[in-house]
Structure 1
Amino acid sequence: MAALDNDKSRTDILNRLKRAEGQLRGIQRMIEEGEGCLPIATQMAAVRKALDSTYVRMTVCFMEQQLQTRLGADLSKDAGAMGEMFDEIETLLGKIR
């Protein structure tokens, strides 16, 4: 199985997860302090969306790495078009939630 080899993508994904972790701690605090269900549910939905978005980003990163490895091609030659394609893929995958 492939690993996250791209340092920029790894940092981006870790930062997204750390943000979600902070949101989860906030939800725990809200529950401990007796907040209402609606504000808690709103925050839970935000965390779910953040995790879904992170998953999509990781999936696109995996696809980029696999294409580069399996095609053995220098994808950087056409980096602009490839970057646009992966941005579109990420957008499309984000809409299936």
Structure 2
Amino acid sequence: MSMLTDDKTRTDLLNRLKRAEGQLRGIQRMIEEGQPCQDVASQMAAVRKALDSTYVRMTVCFMEQELGAHLGANTKGRKQLSEVLGEVQTLLGKVR
């Protein structure tokens, strides 16, 4: 299985995961402090959405990287691929 080779993409994904990690710590504190279940559930839903969004982003970046490698240096093809995958990411974002 290939790895993501773009440093910008990896940094973006890591930043998203760090934010989710902070949200999870906040949820743990909420539970320790006895916050209402409705509030805890709301924060859990936010973390799930953040992780789902990160997964979709990683998948689309991987697809762009791998398909782009098969297209070679064809700039027009890469631009079209990027546009289509951007639309795919938007569509997948609406499923969550």
* TM-score of the superposed pair, with normalisation by structure 1: 0.90
Q: Which runs of 5+ in 1 are unaligned?
A: none
Structure 2 stretches of 5 or more lacking a match?
Answer: none
State yes or no: 1:90 paired with 2:89: yes
How many corresponding residue pairs?
95
Give aligned-pair identity as a percent.
65
Q: Equivalents in 1 of 2:64, 2:86: separation in Å?
A: 11
- Equivalent residue, structure 1, for 2:11: 11
Q: CA RMSD in A?
A: 1.3
> Residue 74 of structure 1 corresponds to which residue in structure 2?
73
TM-score, normalised with respect to structure 2: 0.90
The residue type paired with residue 3 of structure 2 is: A
Which residue is equivalent to 1:30?
Answer: 30
SS at match of 2:3: coil
The one-letter code of the counterpart of 2:29 is R
**Over 4 Å off, 4+ runs:** none
Task: After superposition, give the CA deviation of every residue in 1:56-88 in whole Å (9 maximum; x if it has no partner).
Answer: 00000110111023x24225x124433321210
